Amino acid sequence: MESTKTPSTDELAAWYRAAEPRFRALADNVAATINSLLKEQGVAYLTVSARVKTLESLLEKFSRKRYDSFEDLTDFLGVRVIVYLDSEIPVVCRLLEKAFHAHPELGVDKSEELAVDQIGYRSVHYICDLGLKRLELPELAQYKGLKFEIQIRTVLQHAWAEIEHDRSYKFSGDLPQAIRRRLNLLAGTLELVDREFSTLAKDLDEHAKQKTTEEPLAINDAEELNPEIVGRFLESMPFGKSIDPDKRGSSLVSAFDELVNFGVSSVGDLRKLLSPEFLLNINQTAPGTKVGIVRRAMMFNDIDKYLAMSYKRSFGGLSKATQEILRKKYGDEKINDVLKVIRESRKINSEP
């Protein structure tokens, strides 16, 4: 709707009733897509949540902001991604920029808005739409022209924002100097803690890598598995080509849960899973990442069991290399049926 004046309350209410169902469906789609992307890339995160504004909130915003048209409203649908580490934010940003069509002229990095002598709310805000490629899919065509906001922040940034905004503690205006100083000290401390968490996590990763290099894996079949042992065991296996590095250090966690659900709990179980037949087949292609190897091994062992016990809808398709291995064992008809099951469970394709 184009207009030269702010829409009336009746016009806003009518627009809301017509638009809300589509935006709510889009919210579920976007949140599910982001969840899938973060899991596949091994990004450690707390939550991905999505909300559509209430009618009351819409009326209040139009009254306060004096929008001229509905097209000016870019945050009717808001998605919030909360990560643990400040260093994960650029990773999430790159994933979102690839997955959606961002409008940089409308987005903002709140931390860049702060002057060198200012401390306060920090968060990255994107304004996006699904992008032409996704909108070509018949089931997504209804979302053409719909924009949404994505906020990316750390747990500590989220805590600050909740206290400052959602609980109506206004950290602005005419405050006594002593209170203002305490607020600045607190905000600065939170920012330093955020940075230190990221630095500490990086140092721990480097320590783990050094430990892996210095200490050979003690191959004990009775030893209980954990993500680190799975990773080190895979590194000791005779793959024909080198394993691709995982996107993030924590990416084996989700695959480890799938292993446990599949019934693989010890080094001996993992050794049996990585059978000579499987190794022969995977060595005819690039092994891929550790996550990919683990998932291929389970599907190669018993694909029906994997779908029933381990598959958690964290990806929506199979790579060409994975399909090649599985088609040799199960045949085209079986794998085509499996692909249908996977794609129906995850409408947005995010291949492992």
Phi–psi pair at 333, nearest 5 degrees = -60, -45
User: Does residue 344 contact residue 25 with C-beta atoms inside 8 Å?
Assistant: no
Of the listed ranges 34-43, 78-87, 140-149, 246-255, the one predicted with least confidence: 246-255
Residues of the chain with CATH 3.30.460.10: 9-196
CATH class of 9-196: alpha beta
pLDDT on residue 351: 42
What band does 240 get if pLDDT is binned at 50, 70 and 90?
Answer: low
260-289 tens-digit pLDDT: 999 999 999 999 999 999 998 888 877 788
Which structure tokens are listed for 219? Answer: 């191959």
pLDDT at 247: 56
Q: pLDDT (tens digit, 9 = 90+) per residue, 109-148?
A: 544 444 434 444 467 899 999 999 999 999 999 999 999 9
The span from the CA of 222 to the CA of 8, in Å, is: 71
Would you say 286 and 275 are in contact if contact means Cβ atoms under 8 Å apart? no
Its pTM stands at 0.58
pLDDT (0 to 100) of residue 209: 64
Q: Which CA distances in Å does 166 have to 92, 162, 184, 273, 336?
A: 24, 5, 19, 50, 49
Q: Give dist(CA 251, CA 44) in Å, integer.
A: 8
Cβ 76 vs Cβ 45: under 8 Å? no
Over the stretch 175-185, which tens digit does the pLDDT of each residue have?
A: 678 877 787 78
